[in-house]
Amino acid sequence: MENQYATVVLRKNTKSKTTMSSQAIRNGQRTGTVETQATYGGASNNKGGCKNAAKLDDNEQADFKQVTVTLEFKIALQKARQAKGWNQKELAQKINVKPTVINDYEAGRATPDNGIISKLNRILNVKLPKCPKKKKVKD
């Protein structure tokens, strides 16, 4: 019986990528055989800048402040949790989130998530205070 399978050896290509000279690139662009695309900071467009540069320029005067939970919300959440006799980890397990989420809410570091807040309201049987919406802060 003859061996019908050929031996194949796979090797990593250790050769560096071939680079074209700038003259060869220009000649290729003229003839249409080479196409180049400039990228700047991950964005690629004809201007070589950010795709949303116009939007950024329009909002140049306004600074955006990260909205976090209020002091009133933090205290209400802590009191409601402690009234049930739960620690942060137990509360997090009951609403199926990571314990760091509860910790961030009680420390005032988190951005409000309406879904999580409604779960907290249901499981704790309380009505937590509303959190403010994102606002532009003008200088």
CA 124, 125, 126 angle in degrees (round to 5)? 90
Residue with tokens 């942060």: 88
**Mean pLDDT of the residues in the chain:** 77
For the stretch 55-64, pLDDT in tens is 666 655 566 6
In the chain the domains, ranked by start, together with CATH numbers, are 22-48+52-63 (no CATH), 71-130 (1.10.260.40)
For the stretch 66-83, pLDDT in tens is 778 888 999 999 999 999
Contact 115, 38 (CB under 8 A): no
CA distance 97 to 104: 12
pLDDT value at residue 64:
63
CA distance 106 to 108: 6
